[in-house]
Amino acid sequence: MSKGNEKKERKSNVGSSIKESYGSTSASFRRSLASFMEFWNQFKRSATGMTGLALIIILVIIAVAFPVIGNYNDIKNWNNATYIAEKGLPALAPPEWINLISSKKWPITKFVKPREMILVDLKNIRTNTSAALELLKYTNPQLYKYLSAYAKSIPKNQWKTNPILKNMRLGLSQTYGDRLEVIAFDIKYNYKADIPPTDVVIRWNQRPASPYLTQAGVLIIFVRPDGLAVPLAPLNYKTVTKLSESIIRNGTCGSYCAFLFNLNNYFKIINAGRSMDAWSYYGLAIYGKNQITSFEEFRLSNFVNQLSKETRINFKLGILKPFMEPFNLTYSPGFFYRFGKALFKKMNPQMLAGKGPSLKGTYHILVLELVAYNQTKGVPSQPPVTIKKAIFQGAYGILGTDRISASSPYGRDLWQGVLYGTRWALIVGLMASTISTLIGVIYGVISGYYGGKVDAVLNRLAQVIYSLPVLPLLILLSYYVGRSIWNVIVLLIVFGWVGIVFTVRSMALQLRENLYVEAARAVGVDHGRIIFRYIFPQVLPYTFASIALGVPGAILTEAGLSFLGLGDPNVVTWGKILHDAQAGGAVLSGAWWWVVPPGLAIAIVGLSFVLLGYALDTILNPRLRR
């Protein structure tokens, strides 16, 4: 046989051997499916692997289903102070389930809409004798008896021109205006906790002043379950108690309407009849350089703080009188610091110190508004101030709230942040680990397959990169290349591929000596096909395990950068939440719910992938399996 025929026969035999070894495409698919089923049967018997897989499935569902189970508006406006303030969640509120482990029950944050009642609406006082007499009945009962009897003694068609009645109408209209309204907003709150609300907020819509508006004022009255009415003004609380009882029960002011026509009983809300002013003691809160102007509010805490600075002792005594008089207490400057708590305590000598049992039951907050116009025609259909809602702040939600700044009374729902952070944890972890691992595997296979000078150069380069201090470099590069989540992922990939190279290289050095690899080289199969067809599949099981084990490291690195303030400020991640907690003094404030949930979430994700990775490594690594 000639040498040419021998060579052809040898190639034919090698080709037949390779074809017999790997079979047709369909046969290869069947073998792959059989191998997978064999792997799955072993994996199902691993409690560690199934636990990790179940956790990962739950995490993926949370990440994908967030638009359904979460509030995406909260995430889009995570750093929007106006949105957060308008939402009105309390700052540093513990989760609602704290009542399951706390000996003293927290109040749950409640949003309450008021009941609006028109107590008085007198029109055309200047020309309408009946309206004028109605007003006179409350403001001057003795004169009312005389003039009402006089009006009945003359024909009704003479009322308009009669000089006595005309002077009565003119005098009243000059004092009160041509139209007079008294409106009550009743806010009902059922209090069942042991701890008073952390704050009480009343939100209102304020409109531009009408050109016909002459005077306006508001009065806030806390009506307790024991019937005591506490006006936030130095008024006769016994009269206010009877007035409040009539309004709450009957929706009218009854015989106490005269009390409502005295403007000295109100805080004025207009400035020279031209524009609305902030209520005395009820000013708008300012956050840094941005003033919240899209809503206006009364906060009990602001009221207490302002009155604690008030220099008029008689003014303070007038407000504290309902709590001091029954026990003959003498004034102490510290009383006002606990005034907000005293409103929710049973009557006792220590209530102004914030001590004593809570007074549980139904509370009413009455907001009374008096509005006077110099004419009836052209008057707006709505008053200048309309109460929108009240917020009784306490525990909130599943994971509580944080706060947007050290001075802010508002916070964000941490449950939304932790839920949404799952998405970015998986994106960062899986992308960084998968891409860096694949790069490292391909790099190691090429280095081990070629050997010689190629292996020496590639191996030396990998050793140099492996010796670099990764975290300091990541911190520097994150600072200089920009605080973007995608920059962080790229940097994790750039520095994360080296760890797996040396193991894969050693595997490739062994695999290249196998007979089927030498046979492929003998028949002229190109190196790329040999690497990706015959060697790479052999290291793929190890690759899968390495990807799973690499995810926790990527997530922890991103969380570390975000915690140091080098993460993306526009992306809500668990690391960013921890950074905000550190900056906001969560530990010093005792707000453990701001720190523990994101930290625990990082631990759970890391644990799930570690469990999966160890299970894969045990099944796919022959030495561990033995």
pLDDT at 404: 85
**CB atoms closer than 10 angstroms to residue 263:** 15
pLDDT at 32: 62
Look at 288 and 542; give whichever has higher pLDDT. 542
Closest CA to 572 of 95, 68, 71: 71
User: How many angstroms separate the CA atoms of 281 and 303, rounded?
Assistant: 5
> Each residue of 378-426: pLDDT tens digit?
887 778 788 899 999 999 999 999 998 877 889 999 999 999 999 999 9
Q: Which long-range contacts (CB under 8 A, 24 or more apart) does 352-356 make?
A: 352/320, 352/323, 352/324
Q: Is the pLDDT of residue 278 over 70?
A: no
How buried is 32 (Cβ within 10 angstroms: 0-12 exposed, 13-18 middle, 19+ buried)?
Answer: exposed
pLDDT grade, residue 592 (50/70/90)?
Answer: very high
pLDDT at 271: 45
Mean of pLDDT over the chain: 84
Residue 341 φ then ψ, to 5°: -75, -35
Q: Which long-range contacts (CB under 8 A, 24 or more apart) does 229-232 make?
A: 229/322, 229/366, 230/319, 230/322, 230/323, 230/343, 231/319, 232/303, 232/319
pLDDT at 30: 73
Query: Beta strand 199-206 with 385-393: parallel, antiparallel or unpaired?
Result: antiparallel
pLDDT grade, residue 517 (50/70/90)?
Answer: confident
pLDDT at 452: 85
Instruction: Compute the average pLDDT of residues 212-230.
Output: 89
Q: Helix/strand/coil (H, E, C) string of 326-381?
A: HHCCCCCHHHHHHHHHHCCECCCCCHHHCCCCECCEEEEEEEEEEEEECCCCCCCC
* DSSP-derived 3-state class of residue 45: coil
Q: Are 398 and 122 contacting, i.e. CB atoms less than 8 angstroms apart? A: no
pLDDT at 266: 81
Closest CA to 331 of 344, 314, 306: 314
Hey, which residues does 252 pair with through a beta bridge?
none
pLDDT grade, residue 363 (50/70/90)?
Answer: very high
Q: Are 95 and 399 contacting, i.e. CB atoms less than 8 angstroms apart? A: yes
pLDDT at 26: 62
Closest CA to 123 of 405, 467, 375, 360: 375
Residue whose tokens read 């069947």: 30
pLDDT at 519: 82
User: How many angstroms separate the CA atoms of 617 and 546, rounded?
Assistant: 8
- Enter the DSSP assignment of 108: B
**Torsion of Cα atoms, 441 then 443 then 446 then 447, to 10°:** -110
- Enter the DSSP assignment of 15: H
Q: Is the pLDDT of residue 511 over 50?
A: yes
Q: Is the pLDDT of residue 533 over 60?
A: yes
pLDDT at 270: 55
> Each residue of 95-151: pLDDT tens digit?
999 999 988 999 999 999 999 999 999 999 999 999 999 889 888 888 989 999 999
Q: What is the pTM of this model?
A: 0.82
Work out the percent of the chain whose per-residue pLDDT is above 90: 38
Q: Is the pLDDT of residue 319 over 70?
A: yes
Q: Is the pLDDT of residue 280 over 80?
A: no
